[in-house]
C-alpha cells in the first residue's frame, strides 16, 4: 500500500487532510482512492478499482486503509468514550496468536513453496501484515520447530 498527501485544510483549530492511496495486490488487482482524514475518521471521496470491487469490499475499504492513513498524517484514530463501539470490522479475520498461529504460518509457507510462489508473500496475504512482520512470524514458526532451519548448521 502506498499513501501520499494530496492537500490539507486547517480551520478552527482542526485540520482535514486528503491523501492519495494505492493498493496493489499480488494477482494484479489495483485500487486507487482519494481519502479524507479528519477528526471524524476516514472518508473516501473517490475510488477506482481494476477489477471492480464488490459492495462488501467497497464497504471494508475504509477499514483497510484507516491505520496507514493515520500513520501517514501522524494521528491516531480517536474513539469517544460516550460512543457505543460495535464489533470491529476487519478485512480478514484476526490471525490466531501463539502456537496455533505459528503452525498456520508454517502451513501457508509450505503450501506456497509447493505451489512455486513466494512463501513470504503468501504469509503476507494470509495474515494481512507487512513484509517485515510476516518475516518475523515466519522466523517464530522456525523457532517453534514448524519449519526447517534457514541455514544448515555445520
Which residues are 4's β-sheet partners?
A: 20
Q: How far is CA 137 from CA 55, 59, 70, 106, 115, in A?
A: 32, 29, 24, 9, 20
CB 77 within 8 A of CB 70: yes
- Full-prediction pTM beyond 0.95? no
Categorize the per-residue pLDDT at 35 as very low, low, confident or very high, splitting at 50, 70 and 90.
Answer: confident
Alpha helices in the chain (DSSP H): 55-72, 98-115, 119-127, 131-143
- Give 18's DSSP letter: E
| pLDDT confidence of residue 72 | 65
Averaged pLDDT score across all residues of the chain: 77
What pLDDT does residue 28 have? 80
Question: By percentage, how much of the chain surpasses pLDDT 70?
Answer: 81
DSSP state of 54: P
**Contact yes or no for 17/31 (Cβ under 8 A):** no
| pLDDT, tens digit, 9 for 90 and up, residues 48-106 | 988 887 777 777 777 777 777 766 666 554 444 334 444 444 445 567 788 888 999 99
The whole-number pLDDT of residue 110 equals 92
Query: Which of 22, 28, 26 shows the shortest CA–CA distance to 51?
Result: 28
CB 32 within 8 A of CB 22: yes
Amino acid at each position: 500500500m502506498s499513501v501520499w498527501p494530496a492537500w490539507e485544510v486547517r480551520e478552527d483549530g482542526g485540520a482535514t487532510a486528503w491523501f492519495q492511496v494505492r493498493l496493489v495486490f499480488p494477482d494484479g488487482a489495483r485500487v486507487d482512492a482519494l481519502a479524507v482524514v479528519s477528526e471524524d475518521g476516514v472518508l473516501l471521496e473517490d475510488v477506482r478499482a481494476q477489477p471492480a470491487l464488490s459492495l462488501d469490499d467497497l464497504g471494508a475499504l475504509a477499514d483497510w486503509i484507516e491505520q496507514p492513513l493515520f500513520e501517514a498524517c501522524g494521528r491516531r484514530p480517536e474513539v469517544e468514550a460516550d460512543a457505543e463501539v460495535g464489533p470491529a470490522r476487519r478485512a480478514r479475520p484476526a490471525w490466531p496468536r501463539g502456537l496455533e498461529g505459528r503452525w498456520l504460518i508454517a502451513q501457508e509457507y509450505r503450501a506456497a513453496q509447493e505451489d512455486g510462489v513466494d512463501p513470504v508473500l503468501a504469509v503476507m496475504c494470509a495474515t494481512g501484515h507487512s513484509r517485515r512482520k510476516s518475516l518475523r512470524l515466519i522466523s517464530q514458526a522456525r523457532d517453534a520447530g514448524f519449519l526447517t532451519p534457514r541455514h544448515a548448521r555445520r
